[in-house]
């Protein structure tokens, strides 16, 4: 019998959809660029920490190569580049607890870092390089973006504190949306599922600048301090290292986005669905959802106008804009999984669906009900 994971892996397409503005699942090689600003006098310490790190990274599945470069103009500026067979193995590593521990020695000698990730689209070289293009799985066509960067954070709160946390997160003044001349906050959508919180943001411009801008706003800082006693993972926002570790673990990257309609639709309502993946199945689940959303975007009957999939480890969240609301939508299209067997194989929703109708539609409707997150707040900035 062919499993879902095998069907997904066998269906990878190199051709980028004209509707998809973001995806990590096209099979292309990945180039990661890390810009590093090292404290003055800490260059040798940084070099030794890097050499230890690169020896460990060499054994990570999917890693191909890396380089360390030092600026010829400013010895405090360094550049680390690495190549990966594709994006999924890199994301699985960079989002792991192993990575958090592995990079810890670097932070005592680093003032600032900036990570950039790119699919390899073209390469230059002689005839051998051209002949090697198919083997190297280069992306065959560029993706069409909309200028919006999507990112999310997720964390859990202590059981029993959900109601008070929801109130804190709903009752705050929105921060100034304009970050600088090129960056603007467009939308913040916040949901809860049990004691799990998910905050999804949309930014036009530079994501890192936007996140730093938000963290400095007094109204946001007050909210973060207010929920601190209720968090399952302790943090001290006055301790840079504690804050860094917390937000590193809370990062929930967008791995796929597809838009069926470019313009805002006044009938569209925003929802979030939480798919608790079975151990080590989160990436496969996200990829399956991405494939089905990509296909659905070409179906004019689909009520899902936009879909963004966020994934980290076994946490998968799908943010959807639905025409006419979720209640009126076909559960199959809204859930993004057409087969109850896929649900059972990749998620734990089946485990919580005892007593569901024996019919396929009844089970899928039950799975949709279990996955649906509670909306806390959904805010758009003016002229977003």
Of the chain, the percentage scoring pLDDT greater than 70 comes to 89
Class (C level, CATH) for 254-374 = alpha beta
pLDDT value, residue 6:
44
Structure tokens at 205: 């411009």
Structure tokens at 382: 């003016």
What residue ranges of the chain are covered by domains with CATH 3.30.70.100? 31-118
pLDDT value, residue 9:
43
pLDDT value, residue 10:
42
- Rounded to whole angstroms, the Cα distance separating 77 from 37 reads 5
DSSP string, 262-284: SS--TTEEEEEEEEEBPTT-HHH
Strand partners, 121: none
CATH 3.30.70.100 correct for 31-118:
yes
**Residue 117 is inside which H or E element, if any?**
strand 110-119
Evaluate whether 349 touches 371 at the Cβ level (below 8 Å): yes
Evaluate whether 181 touches 192 at the Cβ level (below 8 Å): no
335: alpha, beta or left, given left = phi > 0 and alpha = psi -120 to 50? alpha
| pLDDT digits 0-9 by tens, 271-299 | 999 999 999 999 999 999 999 998 888 88
- Rounded to whole angstroms, the Cα distance separating 221 from 45 reads 34
pLDDT in tens, the chain (384 residues): 444 444 444 444 445 566 777 999 988 999 999 999 999 999 999 999 999 888 889 999 999 999 999 999 999 999 999 999 999 999 999 999 888 888 888 888 999 999 999 999 888 765 555 555 556 667 777 888 888 999 999 999 999 999 999 999 998 888 889 999 999 999 999 999 999 999 999 999 999 899 989 988 899 999 999 999 999 999 998 888 888 889 999 999 999 999 986 666 777 899 999 999 999 999 999 999 999 998 888 888 888 999 999 999 999 999 999 988 888 888 888 999 988 888 989 999 887 765 555 578 788 889 999 999 999 999 998 876
Name which of 273, 235, 305 is nearest 370 in CA terms.
273
- Where helices occur in the chain by DSSP H, the ranges are 4-10, 43-57, 87-94, 97-102, 104-107, 127-131, 162-170, 207-216, 218-227, 240-250, 282-296, 331-335, 340-346, 360-371
What residue ranges of the chain are covered by domains with CATH 3.30.70.1090? 148-253, 254-374
| pLDDT digits 0-9 by tens, 231-250 | 999 999 888 888 888 999 99
CATH of 148-253, one of 3.40.50.300, 3.30.70.1090, 3.40.190.10, 3.10.150.10: 3.30.70.1090
Cα dist from 93 to 52, 84, 283, whole Å: 16, 11, 12
* Residues 2-16: b if buried by 16+ CB within 10 A, e if exposed: eebbeebeeeeeeeb
**Residue 35 is inside which H or E element, if any?**
strand 30-38
């Amino acid at each position: 019998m062919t499993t879902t994971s095998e069907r997904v892996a066998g269906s990878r397409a190199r051709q980028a959809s004209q509707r998809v503005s973001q995806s990590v699942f096209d099979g292309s090689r990945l180039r990661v660029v890390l810009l590093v600003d090292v404290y003055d006098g800490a260059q040798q310490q940084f070099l030794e920490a890097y050499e230890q790190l690169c020896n460990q990274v060499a054994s990570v599945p999917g890693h191909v190569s890396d380089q360390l470069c030092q600026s010829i103009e400013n010895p405090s500026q360094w550049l680390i580049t690495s190549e990966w067979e594709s994006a999924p193995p890199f994301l699985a590593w960079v989002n792991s607890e192993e990575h958090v521990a592995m990079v810890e020695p670097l932070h005592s000698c680093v003032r600032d870092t900036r990570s950039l990730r790119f699919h390899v689209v073209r390469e230059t070289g002689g005839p051998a390089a051209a002949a090697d293009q198919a083997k190297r799985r280069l992306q065959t066509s560029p993706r069409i973006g909309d200028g919006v960067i999507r990112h999310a954070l997720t964390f859990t709160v202590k059981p029993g504190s959900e109601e008070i946390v929801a109130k804190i997160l709903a009752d705050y003044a929105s921060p100034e949306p304009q970050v600088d001349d090129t960056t603007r906050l467009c939308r913040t959508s916040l949901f809860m599922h049990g004691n799990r919180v998910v905050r999804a943001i949309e930014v036009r411009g530079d994501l890192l600048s936007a996140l730093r801008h938000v963290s400095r706003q007094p109204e946001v800082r007050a909210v973060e301090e207010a929920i601190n006693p209720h968090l399952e993972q302790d943090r001290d926002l006055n301790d840079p290292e504690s804050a860094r570790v917390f937000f590193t673990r809370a990062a929930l990257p967008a791995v796929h986005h597809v838009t069926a309609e470019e313009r805002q639709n006044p009938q569209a309502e925003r929802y979030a669905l939480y798919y608790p993946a079975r151990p080590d199945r989160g990436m496969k689940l996200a990829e399956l959802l991405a494939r089905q959303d990509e296909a659905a975007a070409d179906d004019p009957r689909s009520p899902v106008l936009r879909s963004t999939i966020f994934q980290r480890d076994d946490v998968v969240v799908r943010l959807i804009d639905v025409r006419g609301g979720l209640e009126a939508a076909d559960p199959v299209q809204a859930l993004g999984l057409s087969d109850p067997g896929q649900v059972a194989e990749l998620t734990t929703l089946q485990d919580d669906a005892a007593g569901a109708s024996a019919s396929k539609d009844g089970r899928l409707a039950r799975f949709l009900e279990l996955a649906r997150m509670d909306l806390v707040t959904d805010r758009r900035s003016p002229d977003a």
